[in-house]
């Protein structure tokens, strides 16, 4: 039996989504070379203003594993979900 992904494997949008998903997990997104381009000392504070669900914080953690990561999000539900998915970061609520 074919899964949903297999049934739509030849749809152009699915190929793009699959590539984006693979790129995200390989760290080849927008922040891929950030640490090389903008090195930070260990323990530096990094803020993701408008952190949403925490995808940017996860990429920042990969780029800067020794940094102290902080996120700000206005939406209570998004802030709560981000705090759950990024327990190693300090997440606050603010309008940015």
Q: What is the pLDDT of residue 82?
A: 98
87 C-beta neighbours (distance < 10 Å), count: 8
* Burial of 56 per CB tally in 10 Å (0-12, 13-18, 19+): buried
pLDDT band at 96 (very low <50, low <70, confident <90, very high): confident
Q: What percent of the chain has pLDDT over 90?
A: 64
Between 5 and 36, whose confidence is greater?
A: 36
Between 37 and 10, whose confidence is greater?
A: 37
Reference 51, options 81, 67, 73; nearest CA is 73
Report pLDDT digits (tens) over 42-79.
999 999 999 999 999 999 999 999 999 999 999 999 99
């Amino acid at each position: 039996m074919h899964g949903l992904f297999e049934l739509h494997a030849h749809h152009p949008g699915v190929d793009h989504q699959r590539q984006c998903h693979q790129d995200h997990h390989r760290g080849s997104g927008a922040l891929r070379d950030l640490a090389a381009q903008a090195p930070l000392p260990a323990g530096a504070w990094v803020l993701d203003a408008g952190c949403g669900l925490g995808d940017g914080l996860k990429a920042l953690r990969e780029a800067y594993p020794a940094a102290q990561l902080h996120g700000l999000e206005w939406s209570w539900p998004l802030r709560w979900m981000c705090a759950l998915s990024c327990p190693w970061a300090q997440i606050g609520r603010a309008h940015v």
